[in-house]
Each structure stands twice: as C-alpha cells, then as structure tokens.
A and B are shown apart, each in its own frame.
Chain A
Amino acid sequence: MNSQEFAFLLVGLKWTVALSAVGFLCGGVAGLGVALLRTSGCSRMERVIAGYIGLFQGTPLLMQLFMVYYGLALLGIELDAWVAVAIAFTLHASAFLGDIWRGSIEAVPRGQSEAARALGLHYVPLMGKVVLPQALRISLPATVGFLVQLIKGTSLASIVGFAELTRAGNIIANQIFKPLLVFAIVGTLYFLICWPLSLYGSWLESRLTAPSR
C-alpha cells in the first residue's frame, strides 16, 4: 500500500469522525428531549416514547439505516446520501441516549426533586439546576460507552455506499488485492479512536463507583 492509498483511508476516517460527531451531537439534543418526555409523568406520552426506544433497541442498526435511506427516497425527498445517513444515526442515537439518560434521571434520589419543589422551583430550574447536573454525572460512563458503539456503528453506512472508513477500505482492498492488510489497517484506525474513549469511560466509571466521601 502506498501513501496515496493510505491517504484515501484517512479521508474515509475523516468522514467516519464527521458522521459520528453529527450523529452524537444531533442525537444528543434529540435524546435529551426523549429522556425528558420519558420521565415527564404523563403516562400516555411515556408509553409512546418507550415504544420509540424499544423500536430502535429491538431492530438492527442496518435496518434502521435502510428504512431511513429508502423511506426518505420513497417520500420523494431527494437527499444526499450523507444527509440520509446522518438522519438515521441521529434517530438511532436519540433513542439510545434517551434511554441512558432516562435511567440516570431516575437514579437521582427522589428527595432531590421533592426538596427543589418544596423550595418553590418550577420544572425548568428543577430539571436544569437540580436533577440534570446530577444525572449527567451518573450517565457519563454509559454515554461514553455509547459513543464508542456509535463510532463502530458508522461502519454500516458503508453498506449503503457512504464513503467512510470501511467503504474506503473496501475500495482499496479491491484495488490492491490485499484485503487482510487493508482491513488490519482499517481496524487499527478504528481502534486508535475507540480505545482511548473506552479507557476514559472505564476511568469515569471507577471514579463514580469509588466511595467519594
């Protein structure tokens, strides 16, 4: 493999990072909404949201990609492959992050929100100033864990033809007929991104479970 081919892989890596970042950030914003609605106390709304989460957790990511990809085309919406894939990952991330954050919100002791309400705080400051900051701390290890999942998941975008790292690897492997070498390098590149994040996640977790007082 020459430097030009390696550079092609790095361009793919750039798209992998971009897709993961967009999925994580947009999915994070939507996921916060999902988590808040899931814990809103309105039982009908909670059931609908639980169904939304269950739908994404009970179907393969590949199918979610296909459904958004072909579904948008079917609705007559002409979108770039990049936008369609980004929408799919945003929806996927919103469901998983929503569920992680729901768990963390519920893990904040009830007394906290009762105390806040007793002090006369309304929903917005109660959530923003009391519950969410504590929930964020609890949720961090799982959130980082999901980010690693998401980065690995973006490799599936190669199946619908989006030119990220795995797709770039496929193209190069077909060009130079050394699939093993190419996929070893592709795997290493993923590892170099994901491993530090995983280590950070387990460090956060050990800090969280260690007795703090």
Chain B
Amino acid sequence: MNYTLDFAPVIEGMPDLLKGCLGTFFLTMSGMVIALAIGIGGVALRDSRIAPARWLVRSFVELIRNTPFLVQIYFVFFALPLIGLKLTPTPTAILALGLNGGAYAIEIIRGGVQAIPRGQIEAGLALGLHRAAVFRLVVLKPALRAVYPSLTAQFVMLLLTTSIASSIAAYELTSVAKLIENASFRSFEVYGTITLMYLVMSWMVMRLFRAIQLRWLSYPVK
C-alpha cells in the first residue's frame, strides 16, 4: 500500500461542506413537512367513503414503496417539465422526497389509526364533537403518539435518502462532496469525512425528535 491520505482538500473545502450540511437539513425538513402532510391527508382519504380516493391512495402507497427512490427522482425530474413545471433541481428533489416519504408516512400513521378502538371514536361523536374534531383530537393525536418511534426512524431514513438527490445535482452535502472530489481526486478522504457528517446529522435528528416527543407528545404527569 503506497498511498498517503491527504485531507488538505477536505479541510480547504470544509466551509462548503458545512454549507452542504445545511442544504441536506433543508431538504430533509422540507421533505418531512410535505411527507407529513401527505401522510395525514392520505390516511384521512384512505378511510374516507369515496371509493376512488381510497383506491388512489392505496395504489400511490404501493407504487412508491415498491420502486427505488433513484428511479422516482429521475421520473419526477423528467416528468415535471412535460406538465409545464420548470423547477430547479433542489425543489424537484424536495418534491420527490416528500412524495416518497409521504407514502411511508401514510403506512405508518394508518397503523396507529387502526389501533384506535372504535368505541373511542363513538364516544367522541356521542360527546357532540364534529367528525373533523374527532379525527384530529381522538384519532390523529393518539395515533401519532403511538407511531412516533416508527415515524422518527422513517425521518432518519429520509435524511439518509437525501444523498441520492445528488444524482440530479440538487444542493446538498453529497453534491458538494462530489465537486470537491472531482477537483481533487481524493475520493476516500472526501466521502469518508461526509460519511461521518451524515452519522452526526442522523444522531442530531434523533435527538431532535426525542426532544419534541418529551415536550409535546408525552402524557401530562400532573
């Protein structure tokens, strides 16, 4: 082995890499918001009385869950211009991440909703709550509480998935690393460093979710 590690390009590019981390966080958070919206909306539609809506949600979930994200992001990337939407790579990636995460969120939240006893919903209705209020207070909140750990795991997955957005050159950590690697040919050093950065970021996301859980989702102990 006659190779000496040289971290100079990494140190030189560190400000860019850290900015790339922010880009990754931005993709993750935006994707997460869309995913949660799709997840909650999808669950409401999936249990609705409109058969085509139920059918649509189910096909969407199966389609997304059984194809690779890389193919999905390519598809969105090439499909958007055809319907007249000219987006730059980063919003395209956010959209693709949101759709992908949304399908998983529907599955996870549905599991929690199904675990709500029927009597609890009936009790809500009997107390004179509106259907929407029952869904929000009696179904959704306890369901989110129950599936919170799975949801956390899914969002860490979402964070790790953002690295695939580099394939359409969206602004995030892996894309930045690619530029540095292309200029310096120090592949191992550059990718090794950002691998550690991803490790730290997924740990931070886990801590963040734990804090949110303690603050807003734990039962009051008065």
| Interfacial residues, chain A to chain B (CB-CB below 8 A) | 55, 57-64, 66-67, 70-71, 74-76, 148, 152-156, 158-159, 166, 169-170, 179-180, 183-184, 186-187, 190-191, 194-195, 198
Residue pair A187, B75 in contact (C-beta under 8 Å): yes
Interface mask (B161-176 → A, CB under 8 Å = 1, otherwise 0): 1111011000000100
Flag whether B90 is at the interface (Cβ < 8 A).
no
Flag whether B154 is at the interface (Cβ < 8 A).
no
Residue pair B199, A183 in contact (C-beta under 8 Å): no
Instruction: Give the distance to chain B from A71, nearest Cβ to Cβ, in Å.
Output: 6
Flag whether B202 is at the interface (Cβ < 8 A).
yes
Measured as residues with beta carbon below 8 angstroms from the partner, the interface class of chain B is: 35 or more
Residue pair B195, A59 in contact (C-beta under 8 Å): yes
When distances are taken between beta carbons in the complex, the residues of chain A under 8 Å from B69 are: 152, 155
When distances are taken between beta carbons in the complex, the residues of chain B under 8 Å from A155 are: 68-71
When distances are taken between beta carbons in the complex, the residues of chain B under 8 Å from A76 are: 1-3
Considering the complex, give the chain A residue whose CB is closest to the CB of B62. A195
Query: Which of the candidate stretches B91-99, B119-127, B184-192 sits at the interface with the other chain?
Result: B184-192
Which of A71, A180, A198 has the most chain B CB atoms closer than 10 A to its own CB?
Answer: A180
Flag whether B160 is at the interface (Cβ < 8 A).
yes
Instruction: Give the distance to chain A from B70, nearest Cβ to Cβ, in Å.
Output: 4
Residue pair A158, B70 in contact (C-beta under 8 Å): yes
Flag whether B86 is at the interface (Cβ < 8 A).
no
Residue pair A62, B66 in contact (C-beta under 8 Å): no
When distances are taken between beta carbons in the complex, the residues of chain A under 8 Å from B162 are: 60
Q: Which residues 1-57 of B have a CB within 8 angstroms of A?
A: 1-3
Residue pair A180, B78 in contact (C-beta under 8 Å): yes
Residue pair B188, A70 in contact (C-beta under 8 Å): yes
When distances are taken between beta carbons in the complex, the residues of chain A under 8 Å from B70 are: 155-156, 158-159, 166
Residue pair A153, B68 in contact (C-beta under 8 Å): yes
When distances are taken between beta carbons in the complex, the residues of chain A under 8 Å from B188 are: 67, 70-71, 74
Instruction: Give the distance to chain B from A90, nearest Cβ to Cβ, in Å.
Output: 18
Identify which of B75, B195, B199, B202 contacts A180 (C-beta below 8 A). Answer: B75
Q: List 18 A-B contacts (CB under 8 A).
A: A58-B203, A59-B160, A60-B160, A60-B162, A60-B174, A60-B195, A61-B160, A63-B194, A152-B68, A155-B68, A155-B69, A156-B164, A158-B70, A169-B74, A180-B82, A183-B78, A187-B75, A191-B63
Flag whether B198 is at the interface (Cβ < 8 A).
yes
Residue pair A58, B198 in contact (C-beta under 8 Å): yes
When distances are taken between beta carbons in the complex, the residues of chain B under 8 Å from A191 are: 63, 66-67
Identify which of B65, B71, B160 contacts A186 (C-beta below 8 A). Answer: B71
With A59-B202, A180-B78, A198-B66 in contact, do A187 and B71 touch (Cβ < 8 Å)?
Answer: yes
7 tightest CB-CB pairs across the interface, nearest first? A155-B68, A194-B66, A60-B163, A152-B68, A70-B187, A60-B160, A179-B78
Q: How far is the CA of A158 from the CA of B164 in the complex (A)?
A: 11
Considering the complex, give the chain A residue whose CB is closest to the CB of B162. A60
